[in-house]
Amino acid sequence: MKRAPSRHVVLVLALASACSQRRTAPEPARAALPPGVAAFVGSEKVSLGTVARIAEAQGVPLAEARRRGVADALYAAGVRADPTKLALVNGAERGVLARALLERLRDDAHALGPPTDAEVRELTALHWPAIDRPPSAQTAHAVVLVKKPADDAPARALAVELAAALKGAPDGEELVKRARSFPKHDLEIVAEHLPPATADGRMWDPTAEPPKAVAGTLDLDFARAALALTEPGEQSGLVKSAFGYHVIQLERRYPEVRVPVEERRRLLAEETYTRRAQHALDALRERLYAATPVSSERAVDALTALVPVVP
């Protein structure tokens, strides 16, 4: 990908252009060089790959790209020779090497080929609401909680009264409103709207783009009863769950979404390559930490806090 040159690079090129108008650079000596090397500038090596990238990025002939590569190496050698600039050189070199490492990891990830079946399954499980979603039901409900075994019988009796008060509620909003205004008893009543859920209790957010999974799962007895409802506004009978006795009202049904496996493989390719590269980078980092002692100044936090940060 082509990137715009930084202001520092533009300044260097401008200076180089001005100097070239005043004097002509000496013709480099000709010599047999190792394979893959276009030129040596002192101890600085200009590779053929570098020349090719300059030619492609800047749209110049190879001869001009080689000349620019040599000029860059000359500037680098000049800066490196100045002890006051050594920290800048070392920092730049670390940045370039890190970038080269990331590019190699990316290339290695692509070289492994398209996502495997196992990788497709793993990412499908992560993105299931968008690409592999079963039929879902969005509901409102009211539940009389059963917090201890002794609550079961009175909770069921109260839930029968509650169901009669909720019968005929035209929608979930009215059901929740009626349940929350139901006369108070010793037992707790909770009324709320729930996100769409599948028969196995998984929930998802239909307002996200693409749809995303919601943390947690619904009680299976509740979820199956919710999926048994077919028309918006339809209410269930009393449903017993691990939490208590519910009255469930369907607000909306969502049809299933099943993207074919090969289409998933295509859609998930870039994320797969990124994950592969990240796994490789994590493994490399662990190996480097295990093999390389790392120490820091005791007062590093205090010293770092003194560094001005320009937004």
Number of Cβ within 10 Å of residue 265's Cβ equals 19
Which of 233, 257, 281 terminates a domain? The answer is 257
pTM of the model: 0.65
Please check whether residues 107 and 191 belong to one and the same domain.
Answer: no
- Give the C-alpha distances (Å, rounded to integers) separating 174 from 110, 206, 239: 54, 22, 19
Q: Are residues 251 and 173 in the same domain?
A: yes
Encode pLDDT of 254-263 as tens digits: 999 999 999 9
pLDDT (0 to 100) of residue 14: 36
Residue 7 has a pLDDT of 36
Instruction: Quickly tell me which residue has 């040599």 as its tokens.
Output: 70
pLDDT at 181: 95
- Residues spanned by the domain of 304: 85-115+268-311
Closest CA to 172 of 190, 194, 150, 152: 194
Is 125 part of a structural domain of the chain? no
Beta bridge partners of 191: 142
CA atoms of 73 and 86, how far apart (whole Å): 15
- Show which of 81, 105, 123 is a domain's final residue: 81
Whether 97 maps to a domain, the answer reads yes
Q: Decide: 282 and 194 in contact? Cβ < 8 Å.
A: no
Residues 195 and 275 in one domain: no
- Identify whether residues 208 and 160 lie together within a single domain: yes
Query: What is the predicted pLDDT for the residue at 18?
Result: 38
Mean pLDDT in consecutive groups of 10 residues from the start of the chain, 311 residues? 39 37 52 75 77 82 82 70 67 67 89 96 97 98 96 96 96 97 91 98 96 96 98 97 98 97 96 95 85 63 59 52
pLDDT, residue 5, reads: 41
Number of domains in the chain: 3
Quote the pLDDT of residue 94.
Answer: 65
Kindly state whether residue 130 falls inside one of the protein's structural domains: no
* pLDDT tens digits along 7-51: 333 333 333 343 444 444 455 666 677 777 778 777 777 788 888
**Are 252 and 139 contained in the same domain?**
yes
Where residue 210 sits, what CATH number does that domain have? 3.10.50.40
Q: Is residue 1 part of a domain?
A: no
238 within domain boundaries: yes
